[in-house]
Amino acid sequence: MARAVRSGTRVDTVLLVACCAMALLTTVLPLNLREAIASGLRRTVVAPLVTLQQQAERGRSAFLSREATTSRLDSVSLRNMQLSRLEGENERLRALLGLGRQLEWGFVSAEALRGGAIGEDHTLTLTVGSRAGVAAKTPVVAPEGLVGMVRTVDPSTSLAILWTHPDFAASAMSADRSAYGIVYPHLSESGRAEGVPPERYLLELRGVAFRSALKSGTEIVTSGLGGVYPAGIPIGTVLGELQTSEGWARTYLVRPAVRPPDVSNVIVLLPKKLEDQSIEKIWRSAASADSAARRIAAAGDSIARRAAEDSTRAANTAAARRAADSTARVASDSARRPPARGDSARSPVRPDTPPAGARP
């Protein structure tokens, strides 16, 4: 082992001495000879080293550019996520402002904060309290419909329960007033409508008279009975009938109009507003406005379609007229043109026609 180390050291020393000698020799050589030797070394010995250096520089620049591109993509993705969230919040705030304009008076808007003393998933902490006129057992609504009810009130804050709370109940009816019942949160998976996939946030409409059969898609609103919720606030739509053991009443599974995860800003109806009978017309007017807008759009499409058909028909008529005019013009030009000599020579002479220059 010691011999191998000694031999390696000697080889290194010899190479060092040889390199120094060559360096000293090149300093005394003529300029043209030194340039020739340097050029030969660059083409033979130094060329692979230069290639390795170029590849290393390219790899380093590619790695740095990849990191920069990745950081830019991450920032763009983060901005897109923030933009979509801000767009959703903007739409909800606009809808909330529209609902406030329709209510006109007797309400106060609030920010809904998650969590509370009763349960994390079933309560909201509102940023308004008794100083703003909020009282217990007043409805909490959103542009889509019913959210819940205020349970406890403090001077600057209040606690509201969502419709997912086990203690929630609301007197309800179908939008056409053909069926009445009471809405409860759907807490168990035992009763399930046929053909309806299981979901977490659902409601049950219980106590509907057996003679009142509701179809899927029927809108359910508050009935105004009980003195807590005014009539006409949307609750949800019927998904299907639940199979229960009760033979005198029907129970329906209802998809809620408001999903708790989407609640961020709400409107609390003040006690004086609960006596106003115009609340029922607010959500109905919104629905009728949507249907009217759809009818106007359909009418505009039909008018545009008729206008396009009329313009096509007019263009076809004008083209036919131009073709007929061109055909008539060609025929009149050919009739006015004088006959050719060959044609006059070949044309037969009528016996009753005198020759040219003869007297009658």
CATH class of the region 104-289: mainly beta
Model confidence pLDDT, tens digit, residues 74-117: 888 887 777 777 777 778 778 888 888 888 888 999 998 875 44
Q: Report whether pLDDT(299) > 70.
A: no
Looking at every residue in the chain, the average pLDDT score rounds to: 77
Q: Report whether pLDDT(187) > 50.
A: yes
The pairs formed by 147-155 with CB atoms below 8 angstroms and a separation of 24 or more are 147/112, 147/258, 147/263, 147/266, 148/124, 149/228, 149/229, 150/126, 150/268, 151/118, 151/123, 153/129, 154/129, 154/130, 155/129, 155/130, 155/131
Nearest to 221 by CA among 265, 167, 261, 281: 281
Domain range list for the chain = 104-289
Model confidence pLDDT, tens digit, residues 300-309: 455 556 656 6
Model confidence pLDDT, tens digit, residues 200-233: 689 999 999 988 889 999 999 999 888 889 989 9
Q: What element of type H or E holds 153?
A: strand 145-153
Predicted local distance difference test score (pLDDT) of residue 160: 93
Percent of all residues in the chain with a pLDDT value above 70, rounded to a whole number: 72
